[in-house]
A and B are shown apart, each in its own frame.
Chain A
């Protein structure tokens, strides 16, 4: 029983870590709170839904479509909306992403209506058993891909020149400009990467659960919790935080029932804010 709860928490945690990272990089690098990120995840899921139903593709293989689609959307949003008001500060950009969230939800409503929609791949519901613990294939796949994406992103930021230029821009925008780094483009790229990662997570999510245009709102508490608990902009921190939250959710479901899942998550979020405001891996040289 305990083993099953731990494995459930771990598998869910990998997914939380990755959507948390997608939110956290925009927060940490640009000081922008993207309140539309949950809905962007859902848009990725809808791309998978549409492609698998219209083209008959296996939902898993629509991953490149949701990544590319959301990358382009994210780039456009930053270039033609957020960059124009970026100097206005946190409140202005938050209002903008709040409004954007409503628009995206309503576009999804227009196209797909308020019904729940899901995919039903042939491997759905199949699982294997290790030492009495049941592991569904889909859940394991989601976990592995989410962790893989998180690691690749971390390597991109640490090892590539483009990644370093994004970090440099976060650390000191003026100095970055003096090095010849185009700040506007860097911001577009950062937002596009965040959106693309969110879109990929949407594809993974709809593999396991059906979605409606409002499902994105449920992610917000997770996004904030992972970003704050992990330390803003810290990818290893977000990875750890995602798994912790997955565990919290899994254990609270066992002890208090599924109805209290969100209550416990919100409670944990408040406790984080009070006792660990800089998170697990908040950085000394940030801010």
Chain B
């Protein structure tokens, strides 16, 4: 058995109610790897993340995490096992302070004593958050909100971080700044990531391997450096 694999998805079909959105998905995430999940609007990227987080139950297929079958585990159990999602649009708790938001990220952690250490690490990564730790999250700028969302996600000490549309609504300069921080996180904490991006260029530059989704099916997968050279991809997504 392949012990380096963290997440394995086999023959997965999923959707909302009776309407299927994903067909026949096979996906694998190895330890310490960044996976790009790319594609246009409505391709099913967010749906796939929500299946991995346990928000949506699949119609068919299996999901394994750390060799355990989690196909029908609830979201709480998955966060405890180490799967954390940083959702599209950040979904911060706007009426709570930055610090309260971050602490809630560690809701499932049992070792509450080391929570302060975790907070310090987040504040070191994003000093802006430290300055604003007692401010309501709803009063932060877009970039700061994304930092807070990432910080909140990291507070659970994830093994697999699912990041949905990190660049959504942010200025390119801010995206660069956050990407640098994320790279640091990847190097310091031993984690894997699935990066969902509409900005295909960004997604490919930042990942080791990538999957391209089109209307609910995986149409291409492979090493990111190969995919970025693929003429079809260049034509459809990069406009070159």
State whether these chains interact: yes
User: A172: CB under 8 A from chain B?
Assistant: yes
With both beta carbons as reference points, the residue of chain B lying nearest to A168 in the complex is identified as B93
Q: How far is the CA of A178 from the CA of B156 in the complex (A)?
A: 11
Distance from B22 Cβ to chain A, minimum over Cβ atoms (Å): 19
Contact of A164 among B84, B92, B96, B156 (CB under 8 A): B96
The A contact surface, by secondary structure, is helix
User: B105: CB under 8 A from chain A?
Assistant: yes
Give every chain B residue within 8 A of A177 (Cβ-Cβ): 55, 75
With both beta carbons as reference points, the residue of chain B lying nearest to A182 in the complex is identified as B76
Distance from B144 Cβ to chain A, minimum over Cβ atoms (Å): 16
Show the binding face of B for A, using Cβ within 8 Å.
Answer: 53, 55, 74-76, 78-80, 84-85, 87, 91-96, 100, 103-105, 107-108, 136, 138, 152, 156
Give every chain B residue within 8 A of A165 (Cβ-Cβ): 104, 107
With both beta carbons as reference points, the residue of chain A lying nearest to B53 in the complex is identified as A178
Interface stretch (choices A2-10, A114-122, A131-139, A278-286): A278-286
**Quick one: which of B53, B85, B104, B138 has the most chain A CB within 10 A?**
B104
Q: How far is the CA of A286 from the CA of B136 in the complex (A)?
A: 12
With both beta carbons as reference points, the residue of chain B lying nearest to A167 in the complex is identified as B96
Contact of B85 among A164, A178, A182, A283 (CB under 8 A): A178
Give every chain A residue within 8 A of B76 (Cβ-Cβ): 180-182
Give every chain A residue within 8 A of B100 (Cβ-Cβ): 164, 168
Q: How far is the CA of A19 from the CA of B42 in the complex (A)?
A: 47
User: A65: CB under 8 A from chain B?
Assistant: no
Cβ–Cβ contact B75 & A180, under 8 A: yes
| A158-189 CB contacts (< 8 Å) to partner B | 161, 164-165, 167-168, 171-172, 174-182
Give every chain A residue within 8 A of B74 (Cβ-Cβ): 182
Give every chain A residue within 8 A of B136 (Cβ-Cβ): 285
With both beta carbons as reference points, the residue of chain B lying nearest to A181 in the complex is identified as B107
| A265-287 CB contacts (< 8 Å) to partner B | 283-286
Cβ–Cβ contact A180 & B79, under 8 A: yes
Q: How far is the CA of A267 from the CA of B55 in the complex (A)?
A: 46
Cβ–Cβ contact B87 & A174, under 8 A: yes
With both beta carbons as reference points, the residue of chain B lying nearest to A170 in the complex is identified as B95
Cβ–Cβ contact B138 & A175, under 8 A: no
Given A167-B96, A178-B55, list of 7 further CB < 8 A pairs?
A: A165-B104, A168-B96, A171-B93, A175-B87, A180-B75, A180-B156, A182-B74
| A171-B79 in contact given A161-B107, A285-B138 (Cβ < 8 Å) | no
Cβ–Cβ contact B75 & A285, under 8 A: no
> Which 8 A-B pairs rank lowest in CB-CB distance, beginning with the nearest?
A180-B79, A180-B108, A285-B95, A175-B91, A285-B94, A171-B93, A180-B76, A168-B93
Distance from A209 Cβ to chain B, minimum over Cβ atoms (Å): 38
| A177-203 CB contacts (< 8 Å) to partner B | 177-182
Distance from B165 Cβ to chain A, minimum over Cβ atoms (Å): 14
| Interface pairs (21), CB distance under 8 Å | A164-B104, A167-B95, A167-B96, A168-B96, A168-B100, A171-B93, A174-B55, A178-B55, A178-B85, A178-B87, A180-B75, A180-B76, A180-B79, A180-B80, A180-B107, A180-B156, A181-B76, A181-B104, A182-B76, A285-B138, A286-B95
Q: How far is the CA of A29 from the CA of B121 in the complex (A)?
A: 32
Cβ–Cβ contact A178 & B75, under 8 A: yes
Give every chain B residue within 8 A of A180 (Cβ-Cβ): 75-76, 78-80, 107-108, 156
With both beta carbons as reference points, the residue of chain A lying nearest to B136 in the complex is identified as A285
Distance from A164 Cβ to chain B, minimum over Cβ atoms (Å): 6
